[in-house]
Amino acid sequence: MTDRDSASGASPYLFLTFAMVFFATNVIIGRAVHGEIPPVGLSFWRWVAASALFLPFGLTHVRRQWALIVRNWKVFLMLATAMILFGNTVIYIGLNYTIALNAGIVPVARPVIIVALSWVIFRTAVTGGQVLGIVVAMVGVLVIAVRGDLSALASLTFNTGDLIVFAGNIGIAVYQVLFPLAPRELHPYALLQVTFILGALLLAPFYALETIYIAPVTPNLVTVSAILAVAIFPSMLAIYFMNRGMTAIGPSRAGIFNYLQPLFVTLMAVTLLGEAVEIYHLIAFTLVIGGIVVANRGRTPSSASPVS
């Protein structure tokens, strides 16, 4: 039995919860240093650092399974393109232009996109519990976003930054949907190592253009610390835990855990900025957790082969 298979014997829900905790740090750090580090530069050096730091864990498995990796190079290229080029990097760009309120609402669409694409590509069944759970958790995120006043939704406006963040969330959703295409016999460390390296290579020309025409990344305590932090937490740890969770329960059921990310972003902001915990925080937390429980009750729907 491979390590990917053994994920089903552990708690996928714990894996996915930890993944969203670490992904939440990405938003906090990305917003904190957006004036210090250009977005493509932050993303490029993030994946370069993640590739280097992960070598002691992944290199041996990459060498051992090199033939398998080469045979499936198109799958790895699609995964790296979706997650790193069109996902995280685009979100970094959007964080330069959008406000926190809207940034909390935009990711609401990600689980819906995952369920829809999973049905289109893999014909994955959608249960009534999944639909209900998505709706309940979505309301919880909206409660956070509007600070407990749902009437504020009527006055919301969206700008270019919001659309950019939305596009980035589509990229991450596509990664989660396409994840089952990776060969099951591939060691999870090999999958991460290849994804990190491909992501850095894909970003290299865009980073060069940004450096020449916009601004370079200036090495100092702030920039180096931020790059190392995003390389470790929302890269190595978050993607590893997310992959293990999706291996066990599938992308559709794992997708609803994305609602935990804005919840954890809010909790981190309260902790780091000293803001008071309000009653709507507790209501939102209850709704999101309740939605996840409802969506994951019963058996995991089976999926067919990808549609050709």
Give pLDDT tens digits for 103-134: 556 666 788 888 888 888 888 877 788 888 88
pLDDT over 60 at 302, yes or no: no
The reported pLDDT for the residue numbered 102 is 59
pLDDT over 80 at 246, yes or no: yes
Q: How many CA atoms lie within 13 A of 212 on its CB side?
A: 6
Q: CB 204: neighbour CB atoms within 10 A?
A: 14
The reported pLDDT for the residue numbered 156 is 63
DSSP secondary structure string for all residues of the chain: --HHHHGGGS-HHHHHHHHHHHHHHHHHHHHHTTTTS-HHHHHHHHHHHHHHHHHHHHHHHHHHTHHHHHHTHHHHHHHHIIIIIIIIHHHHHHTTT--HHHHHHGGGHHHHHHHHHHHHHH-----HHHHHHHHHHHHHHHHHHTTT-GGGGGG----HHHHHHHHHHHHHHHHHHHGGGS-TTS-HHHHHHHHHHHHHHHHHHHHHHHHHHT-PPPPSHHHHHHHHHHHIIIIIIHHHHHHHHHHHH-HHHHHGGGGHHHHHHHHHHHHHHTPPPPHHHHHHHHHHHHHHHHHT-SPPPP--PPP-
Average pLDDT over residues 212-233: 96
CA distances from 11 to 16, 18, 245 (A): 9, 11, 8
CA-to-CA distance for 243 and 250, rounded, in angstroms? 10
Amino acid at 164: I
CA-to-CA distance for 227 and 37, rounded, in angstroms? 9
CA-to-CA distance for 187 and 66, rounded, in angstroms? 11
CA-to-CA distance for 275 and 193, rounded, in angstroms? 38
Please report whether residue 41 resides in a domain. Answer: yes
CA-to-CA distance for 113 and 169, rounded, in angstroms? 9
Please report whether residue 218 resides in a domain. Answer: yes
What angle do the packed helices 12-32 and 221-231 form, to 10 degrees?
160
Please report whether residue 279 resides in a domain. Answer: no
Instruction: Please provide the average confidence, as pLDDT, over all residues in the chain.
Output: 84
Please report whether residue 281 resides in a domain. Answer: no
Amino acid at 80: A
* pLDDT tens-digit map of 187-203: 999 999 999 999 999 99
Amino acid at 118: S
Burial of 8 (0-12, 13-18, 19+ CB in 10 A): middle
Residue 75: domain span: 3-126+156-258
Question: Comparing C-alpha atoms, which of 16, 10, 3, 25 is closest to residue 251?
Answer: 16
* Count of domains forming the chain: 1
The reported pLDDT for the residue numbered 9 is 47
Residues 6+ apart with CB under 8 A from 26: 88, 91, 230, 233, 234, 238
Tokens of 203: 């970003």
- Tell which wins on pLDDT, 4 or 226: 226
pLDDT over 90 at 270, yes or no: no
Please report whether residue 122 resides in a domain. Answer: yes
pLDDT over 50 at 6, yes or no: no
Please report whether residue 140 resides in a domain. Answer: no
pTM: 0.83
Please report whether residue 301 resides in a domain. Answer: no
Please report whether residue 42 resides in a domain. Answer: yes
